[in-house]
Chain A
Amino acid sequence: MARKIRMASAAFLVALALQLAPASAQEKDFIFYGLTFEQFEYRAGADASNDALAWDGDAFIGNDEWKLRFTSEAEFDLKAEVFEVLEHQLVVQRLATDFFDVKAGIRYDASIGPNRWFAVIGAHGLAQQWFELDADLFLNERGNFSARLDADYELLLTNRLILTPSAEIDLSFGSDPAIGVDDGLVSAEIGARLSYDLIDRAVSPYLGVHYERKFGGTADSARDEGEAVDALYVVAGLKMIF
Chain B
Amino acid sequence: MRKLQKTLSAAAIFAVAGGAPAMADVYDIKVERVTIDSGDFKRTGVGFNGGSPGPVLRFTEGEQVTLNVTNALTESTSIHWHGLILPYQQDGVPTISFDGIEPGETFTYSFPIIQSGTYWYHSHSNLQEPEGAFGAIVITPKGGERVQSDREHVLVLNDAHPHTSHRILRNLKMMPDYYNRKQRTAGDFIEDVKKLGLEATLSDRADWGQMRMMPTDIEDLQGFTPLINGKGPEQNWTGLFKPGEKVRLRFVNASAMTYFDVRIPGLKFTVVQADGNDVEPVEVDEFRIGVAETYDVIVQPDEDKAYTIFAESMGRSAFARGTLATEDGMAGFVPELRAAPLLTMADMGMSHGGMDHAAMGHDAPAAVPVDHEAMGHGAMNHGKMADAKPDSFYAPGSGLEPVAANGGKVLSYNDLRAANPLYEDREATREIELRLTGNMERYMWSINGVKYGDAEPVRLKYGERVRFKFVNETMMTHPMHLHGMWTILDVGAGQWNPIKHTVSVPPGSTVYTETEVDAPGQWAFHCHLAYHAASGMFRKIVVEGGPDTADKPGRG
Q: Which residues of chain B from 231 to 285 have any CB-CB distance to chain A below 8 Å in the complex?
A: none
Of the candidates B166, B175, B452, the one whose C-beta lies within 8 Å of that of A26 is B452
B439 touches A98 (CB 8 A): yes
Smallest beta-carbon distance B84→chain A, Å = 17
Residues of A within 8 A of B363 (CB): 97-99
A155 touches B170 (CB 8 A): no
A160 touches B181 (CB 8 A): yes
Smallest beta-carbon distance A42→chain B, Å = 25
Q: How far is the CA of A160 from the CA of B223 in the complex (A)?
A: 13
A30 touches B185 (CB 8 A): no
Per-position 1/0 for A108-137, Cβ under 8 A of B: 000000000000000000101110000000
Q: Does A64 count as interface, using CB distance less than 8 angstroms?
A: yes
B206 touches A22 (CB 8 A): no
Residues of B within 8 A of A158 (CB): 185, 187
Per-position 1/0 for B120-157, Cβ under 8 A of A: 00011111010000000000000000000000000000
Q: Does A173 count as interface, using CB distance less than 8 angstroms?
A: no
Q: Does B441 count as interface, using CB distance less than 8 angstroms?
A: yes
Question: A interface, by DSSP: helix, strand, loop or mixed?
Answer: loop
Q: Does B324 count as interface, using CB distance less than 8 angstroms?
A: no
Residues of B within 8 A of A126 (CB): 212, 441
Of the candidates A32, A128, A201, the one whose C-beta lies within 8 Å of that of B169 is A32
Q: Which residue of B lies closest to A28 (CB)?
A: B453
A26 touches B181 (CB 8 A): no
Residues of A within 8 A of B184 (CB): 156
Q: How far is the CA of A34 from the CA of B178 in the complex (A)?
A: 13
Residues of A within 8 A of B94 (CB): 24-25
Q: Which residue of B lies closest to A163 (CB)?
A: B186
Q: Which residue of A lies closest to B536 (CB)?
A: A27
Q: A130-B212, A157-B185, A157-B187 are in contact. Are A27 and B174 (CB under 8 A)?
A: no
Q: Does B362 count as interface, using CB distance less than 8 angstroms?
A: yes
B186 touches A156 (CB 8 A): yes
Q: Does A230 count as interface, using CB distance less than 8 angstroms?
A: no
B535 touches A27 (CB 8 A): yes
A contact residues vs B (CB 8 Å cutoff): 19, 22-30, 32-34, 36, 64, 95, 97-99, 126, 128-130, 155-160, 200-201, 241
Give me 11 A-to-B residue pairs in the complex whose CB atoms sit less than 8 angstroms apart, sorted by A's number.
A29-B453, A32-B169, A34-B170, A64-B173, A98-B439, A99-B362, A129-B209, A160-B181, A200-B223, A201-B171, A241-B175
B contact residues vs A (CB 8 Å cutoff): 75-76, 93-96, 100, 123-127, 129, 163, 166, 169-171, 173-175, 178, 181-187, 206, 209-210, 212, 223, 361-363, 439, 441-442, 444, 451-453, 524, 526, 530, 533-536, 538
A26-B96, A99-B363 are known; give 14 further A-B pairs, CB within 8 A.
A22-B75, A25-B94, A25-B125, A25-B126, A26-B95, A27-B452, A29-B453, A32-B169, A64-B451, A98-B363, A130-B209, A156-B184, A158-B187, A201-B175
Q: Which 8 A-B pairs have the closest CB atoms?
A: A129-B209, A28-B453, A34-B174, A156-B185, A26-B538, A159-B181, A98-B362, A32-B170
